[in-house]
Each structure stands twice: as C-alpha cells, then as structure tokens.
Amino acid sequence: GFEWSTPMNKPVDMTKGHGLTLSKATPLRVLLRPRLPPHLY
C-alpha cells in the first residue's frame, strides 16, 4: 500500500475537460509514499 497526497497538499481539481470521453481539464498529480519497508515490496 501507499500513502497518497498532492503536491503542496492542494485539493484535486475535478473539472471535466471537453470531448466525448470524460478527461480531466488538468492532469492529476499525486505523490506516493510506501507504507511498508522496501524489502516487503
């Protein structure tokens, strides 16, 4: 498992983009930190 966060703890922008698919207006940026020691992955 991982701990998820956003850069500078900003909220995620859920604005939808244009087009037939529901893409996001701004790309999702996240930071991942492992919860467990490296030897367990």
Model confidence over 6-21: pLDDT tens digits?
999 999 888 888 877 7
Does 38 have pLDDT greater than 80? yes
Does 3 have pLDDT greater than 90? yes
Please give the residue range of the domain that contains residue 36: 2-40
For the chain, the three-class secondary structure string (H helix, E strand, C coil) is CEEEECHHHCCCCCCECCCCCCCECCCCCCEEEECCCHHHC
Does 22 have pLDDT greater than 80? no
**Structure confidence at residue 15 (pLDDT):** 87
**Total tally of structural domains belonging to the chain:** 1
pTM of the model: 0.54
Q: Tokens for 20, please give them.
A: 């037939």
Q: What is the mean pLDDT of residues 14-35?
A: 86
Mean pLDDT of the chain: 88
